[in-house]
Amino acid sequence: MRQERGPIRVLRDRQAAFFDEADRADRRVPVVSARRLVSIYNGGAMPSQPNRVFLSHPVELDGSEGEGSSGSTNVNTSATIPVVVLDGVPQVGDLLVATAVGGRWVTERSVENGTFICVTACYPAVPVYGSTITVLSGTTTVASGTTGPTGCVKFSLSGTYVVQVQVGGTIVYSASRYLPPGGTITIAVSGTSGLVCCGGVAIPEHLTLTDAVGSLPFVYYPNYYYPIWYGGHAVTLLSCSVTTPNNVCVAAAPSQGPVRVCYQMTCIAGSQPAFSIQRSWSWVYQQGTLDAIWYQDSTGFLPGQPCATSPPAACGSPHTDTSSFSANPSSTSPFTLSGTPAPTAGTATSDPVGGSIVISA
């Protein structure tokens, strides 16, 4: 018996020390982060992707004090709280509990039943940036979003719905699809109208070109070896018209009139940059001089058709001047090119428009 007292005493001492440590742990003050209830609202630039900053209003809960009674929410719309929402994409009016973390309010929207819908085009597949995805139940829209650089939007729903994809305002896909909980579906829109594949980019057929004069339709022309877009408009300048009596070029006296300005964009996939943009206009000699002057051309423009401007062949050659530049599209929008055309060496007249241009979807 005397031999057992040593081990028993050691066990009792260890047990007493354990209880003392547990008592001290219970007396420690826990670290608590501030939390508050918020309601999501659209401030004008609401993201369509998770892990972004959303705007919210603080919310106070109210209601009668009774077991089983429902509460009411009082949303303070005069105050705004930026909240980082993790995992899911909230909808307007969602109530979320935000926690103060590192000087920011952070919350999470559960999307366990959500589905990623991704849009691709071309081969190899590239994401379609800026397409609009609409999810419908019957004829009722239940959710919509715009694809970002990944070509995807995450929707907080699952089940069978009608999914529509719009590119440039045109519906290029519409079908009933099953949205798997926590899964991804990919919609390939290659071969459908509205997109042209070149240089690793899915380019809308219908673009808008804006220069110092204004904006004009910039439309894909399919009957060409390389993908090419055309557009044009006229500017009023001191210019000359011509006639060709007996196949002799006769220039009229200079007058204020329309000078036809043409644009074209060509994509060559193997080039770097892949896109070449050109501005062109024509000229003739002034009556009684050898001074070049802008050619006055009153013909109209047909969107999607080749835009060219040149005096009659009897007036001689060359008679077209150009300015040009090359670029790749910016990654900050569905499709945007910008630059300032530089006049080609030896142009007879100055650029009738001048300045930079922007081509956008």
**Per-residue model confidence (pLDDT) at position 191:** 64
Contacts of 27-35 spanning 24+ positions with Cβ under 8 A: 33/99, 33/100, 33/101, 34/99, 34/100, 35/97, 35/98, 35/99, 35/100
Residue that terminates a domain, selected from 77, 109, 141: 109
Q: What pLDDT digit, counting tens, does each position of 325-336 carry? A: 999 987 656 788
Q: Looking at the structure, do residues 205 and 160 belong to the same domain, yes or no?
A: no
Rounded CA-CA distance 345/59 in Å is 66
**Per-residue model confidence (pLDDT) at position 275:** 95
Q: Which domain, by its residues, includes 63?
A: 35-109
C-beta separation of 83 from 101 below 8 A: no
Token pair of 344 as six digits: 């080609």
3-state secondary structure 263-296: EEEEECCCCCCCEEEEEEEEEEECCCCCCEEEEE
Distance between alpha carbon 218 and the CA centroid of its chain, in Å?
18
pLDDT in tens, the chain (361 residues): 444 556 666 667 777 776 676 666 555 555 567 888 998 888 888 886 778 899 999 998 877 777 666 667 888 989 999 999 887 677 777 788 999 888 889 988 765 557 889 998 888 788 888 889 999 999 899 999 998 878 899 888 878 999 999 887 788 899 999 988 878 899 998 666 678 888 778 888 889 999 999 999 999 998 778 899 999 999 999 999 999 998 888 999 999 999 999 999 999 988 899 999 999 999 998 877 888 999 999 888 887 788 988 898 888 888 999 999 999 987 656 788 999 999 988 899 999 999 999 999 8
| DSSP assignment letter at 350 | -
Q: Can you give the CATH number for the domain in which 181 is found?
A: 2.60.40.10
Q: What pLDDT digit, counting tens, does each position of 294-315 carry? A: 999 988 888 778 898 889 888 8
**Per-residue model confidence (pLDDT) at position 331:** 63
C-beta separation of 234 from 219 below 8 A: no
Q: Looking at the structure, do residues 211 and 349 belong to the same domain, yes or no?
A: yes
Q: Looking at the structure, do residues 49 and 176 belong to the same domain, yes or no?
A: no
Asked whether residue 21 is assigned to any structural domain, the reply reads: no
Residue found by looking up tokens 């007036």 in the block: 315
Q: Looking at the structure, do residues 236 and 300 belong to the same domain, yes or no?
A: yes
C-beta separation of 207 from 219 below 8 A: yes
Q: Looking at the structure, do residues 317 and 224 belong to the same domain, yes or no?
A: yes
Bridge partners (DSSP) listed for residue 51 = none
Q: Looking at the structure, do residues 189 and 225 belong to the same domain, yes or no?
A: no
User: In which element (H, E) is residue 218 found?
Assistant: strand 215-221
Q: How many residues does the chain have?
A: 361
Q: What pLDDT digit, counting tens, does each position of 25-67 carry? A: 555 555 567 888 998 888 888 886 778 899 999 998 877 777 6
Question: CB under 8 Å to 57, separation ≥6 — which residues?
Answer: 38, 39, 41, 75, 76, 77, 79, 80, 81
Residue found by looking up tokens 């071309």 in the block: 122
Q: Looking at the structure, do residues 350 and 243 belong to the same domain, yes or no?
A: yes
State how many domains the chain has: 3
Residue found by looking up tokens 């050619």 in the block: 295
Q: Measured at the alpha carbon of residue 129, what is the angle toward residues 123 and 135, in degrees to the nearest 5?
A: 100
Q: Looking at the structure, do residues 161 and 183 belong to the same domain, yes or no?
A: yes
Give helix then strand counts, H and E, for the chain.
1, 28
Residue that terminates a domain, selected from 137, 164, 193: 193
Q: Looking at the structure, do residues 165 and 202 belong to the same domain, yes or no?
A: no
Rounded CA-CA distance 84/20 in Å is 42
**Per-residue model confidence (pLDDT) at position 148:** 81
Token pair of 80 as six digits: 């705004």
End-to-end distance of the chain based on CA atoms, in angstroms?
94
**pTM of the shown model:** 0.63
Q: Looking at the structure, do residues 264 and 329 belong to the same domain, yes or no?
A: yes
C-alpha distances (whole Å) from 253 to each of 93, 189, 287, 294 are 69, 54, 6, 12
- Strand duo 115-121 + 184-188: pairing: parallel
Q: Looking at the structure, do residues 284 and 341 belong to the same domain, yes or no?
A: yes
Bridge partners (DSSP) listed for residue 251 = 242
